[in-house]
Structure formats: structure tokens, C-alpha cells
Structure 1
Amino acid sequence: EAVERARKFGIEVFNVFLSQEPITEDIEQTIHNIYGQFALFVEGVEHLPSHLSPLLKKLLLKSL
């Protein structure tokens, strides 16, 4: 609900789910239900830059 309200005010909200363990399908589905296409799942901090860059680019292009 808070995510929807923020988006109505033009605030972009995204989630980065960072885990050292495998991410279960249940967790992934729950996060997608809240954040939609702006949900990012990263298994291992070493993969964060390669996953985060495309999301930030998408948000930047959307704001232009």
C-alpha cells in the first residue's frame, strides 16, 4: 500500500533483495507483488553491480 501511494505522488520505489542464500520462489513472488517490475534479486553481494546498473539506467531513462 505504501509503495502504491508513493508512486501516485511520482516517487519511484524499488527493492533490492540481497541474499547469500538461494532466493525461494515464494519470496520472489511476494516481492514482485509489492514492487512489480522494480524488484531486483541478487544472490551474492559480488553480483550487485551487474544487477543494479540496469535498474538504475531504467529509472534514469524513465525520468527523462
Structure 2
Amino acid sequence: MAFDPVRELAEAGLDLQAISEEQRAIVAGLSPAEVAMLISINERLLDTEPEVEAHIIGGLLF
């Protein structure tokens, strides 16, 4: 199966439904290393203490 960044991120629990088609096209062009980094950052943020909050818009971190 070919690498699909959108599928990989969705399977990792990132909600991409709120992003625009233009943003989805950008996400679809991410490399495996970029996707792995986003997933890793998301996992680390979820593992932090409760008083530390990540801002997530459309499933993407900022």
C-alpha cells in the first residue's frame, strides 16, 4: 500500500476533518518523516501533565 499522509495522521488520532481542501492538499504532500514528527509531537503533548495544553485546530498542532 502506498504511503498516505492523511490516512497515517487520521489513524494516529489527528482529526483532519476541519481543514480546508487546500490544507488537505498540503498535508497529502508531507513526507514520511514529516508525518512521523507530527505524530510524535502529538503523542508527547498528550502525555504531558494536565496543566500543559496544546492548541489544536482542525487536528493540526500549533
> TM-score, normalised on structure 2?
0.31
> TM-score, normalised on structure 1?
0.30
More strand by share: 1
Higher relative contact order (CA 8 A, sep 6+): 2
Radius of gyration: which is bigger? 1
More helix by share: 1
